[in-house]
Amino acid sequence: MGREFSELSTNGRQVTLNRPKALNALSSPLFEELNDALSKYDENKDIGAIVITGSEKAFAAGADIKEMAPLTFSAAYSNNFIAPWSHLANAIRTPVIAAVSGYALGGGCELALMCDIIYCTDKATFGQPEIKLGVIPGAGGSQRLTRAIGKSKAMELILTGKNFSGKEAGEWGVAARVIEGGKEELMAETLKTAETIASYSRVAVVAAKEVVDKSQELSLREGVEYERRLFHGLFGSKDQKIGMTAFAEKKKAEWSHE
């Protein structure tokens, strides 16, 4: 897209973490760039889905341990260290797919878990090894992994620091799809799904993402009511009329995204 990034590259609607010397360890400057790239994609109404990926060897091997090593409690606390990582989960309304090949450890696993969908290769390696460094997951891993796989399994992984495979990520529901092969096969499948999502009405897509996200936070009754309100709201969109008229007329819907 003609923008300059030192440690990640962007192409179309895809962000590629590109810090090979440190296996895409997520330093604060790298995360700033990532947030900036995500915001720009999110503001671009021509982009209907975003993909975050890394290299064949590493999606991301965690937060940057060398940056964190000298950190003090007072600096971490007063500067709210790692809080900017929540930008993806809190502010990005366009669906984001993580395409994970290789290591997704610590903050790398947490970054993938913040995305709306995870696709991975069967040889991917996930894990929350922070316990081995004398700390705990700090970017939502204890919460999102537990919601994804249940308390006992998450507790075992977080307390032992044991990794889990891409195949297990698929079996446990962490990953929506496990692709056999390498990065090329992974990207082909990921981009197909991104294109499918991008082919629908933006209004409906944003609403669908919002209601699924709410299921992680609300009681069932509140969530169902929330969903119904947004469902009602979509009858005020142009695209509801376009979609349903096209169905009745056996035509392809030409979305207005309004």
Residues that bind ligand CAA (CB under 6 A): 22-23, 25, 61-66, 82, 103, 105-107, 110, 129-130, 133, 137-139, 141
The nearer residue to ligand CAA, 129 or 243, going by C-beta atoms, is 129
60 vs 139: CA distance, rounded Å:
13
Shortest distance (Å) from residue 105 CB to ligand CAA: 4
CB of 86 to ligand CAA, least distance (A): 12
Rounded least distance, CB 132 to ligand CAA, Å: 6
Q: Tell me whether residue 176 is one of the annotated catalytic residues.
A: no
Strand pairing category for 50-53 and 125-127: unpaired
63 in active site: yes
How near is the Cβ of 136 to ligand CAA at its closest, in Å?
7
Give yes or no for a contact between 116 and 165, defined as CB atoms under 8 angstroms apart: no
> Measured from the CB atom, is 22 or 208 closer to ligand CAA?
22
Of 37, 63, 169, 208, the active-site residue reads: 63
Q: Closer CB to ligand CAA, residue 62 or residue 95? A: 62
| CB-closest chain residue to ligand CAA | 106
Catalytic residue among 110, 139, 208, 227: 110
Nearer of residues 105 and 197 to ligand CAA, judged by Cβ: 105
CB of 137 to ligand CAA, least distance (A): 4
SS3 call for 16: strand
Question: What whole-number distance in Å separates Cα of residue 131 and Cα of residue 136?
Answer: 6
Instruction: List CB contacts of 220: < 8 A, sequence separation 6 or more.
Output: none
Pick from 195, 215, 204: nearest CA to 238: 204
Any catalytic annotation for residue 184?
A: no
User: Which of these, 86, 76, 73, 69, lies nearest to 25 by C-alpha position?
Assistant: 69
Q: Which of 7, 33, 130, 227 is the catalytic position?
A: 130
Residue among 22 and 37 whose Cβ is closer to ligand CAA: 22
The Cα-based distances of 90 to 80, 151, 160, 224 in angstroms read 16, 24, 29, 21
Within its chain, how far is the Cα of 61 from the centroid? Answer: 16
Q: Which residues contact 253 (CB under 8 A, 6 or more apart)?
A: 201, 239, 242, 243, 246, 247
110 is catalytic: yes
Q: Hey, which residues are catalytic here?
A: 63, 107, 110, 130
